[in-house]
């Protein structure tokens, strides 16, 4: 369910988006994973809302500044809150990597 929400949110970007790993040949792509899922609200000893903590990674051999802004905007439009981000460079593959973390709370899970 959460994976579908992310895939749909990022679909307009026109770059490959995949869960956990990417096996294609494009030089710019996005991967994502859920690094924490936990109950956020409880009533009568039952979970009423679930929090999903997601990391979205943008990978590129070229300037990805515009793509990063679009990812932030599309995730926000889908109801996610950005909690942090980090610029990285993968020395072994010579690829730029932006790690962005998002949170969303979904009720009724």
What domains sit in the chain, N to C, each tagged with a CATH number? 2-107 (3.30.2000.30)
pLDDT 10s digits, 66-94? 999 999 999 999 999 999 999 999 999 89
Residue 9 burial class via C-beta count within 10 angstroms: exposed 0-12, middle 13-18, buried 19 and up: buried
- Asked if residues 38 and 32 have their Cβ atoms less than 8 Å apart, the reply is no
Overall average pLDDT of the 19-30 stretch: 96
Which residue reads 């996005």 in tokens?
A: 30
Which residue reads 């039952």 in tokens?
A: 46
Paired strand residues for 59: 29, 97
pLDDT of the residue at 108: 80
Percentage of residues of the chain with pLDDT beyond 90: 95
State the pTM of this model. Answer: 0.92
Instruction: Indicate whether 62 pLDDT > 90.
Output: yes
The band of 109, judged by pLDDT with boundaries at 50, 70 and 90, is low
Question: Which strands sit side by side in the sheet containing 81-90, from one edge to the other?
Answer: 17-19, 29-43, 46-60, 95-107, 81-90
């Amino acid at each position: 369910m959460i994976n579908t929400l992310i895939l749909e949110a990022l679909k307009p970007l026109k770059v490959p988006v995949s869960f956990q790993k990417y096996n294609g040949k494009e030089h710019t792509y996005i991967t994502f994973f859920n690094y924490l899922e936990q109950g956020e609200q409880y009533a009568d000893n039952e979970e009423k809302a679930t929090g999903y903590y997601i990391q979205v990674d943008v990978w590129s051999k070229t300037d990805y500044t515009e793509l990063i802004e679009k990812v932030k905007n599309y995730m926000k439009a889908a109801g996610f809150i950005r909690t942090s981000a980090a610029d990285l460079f993968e020395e072994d593959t010579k690829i730029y990597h932006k790690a962005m973390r998002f949170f969303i709370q979904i009720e009724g899970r």
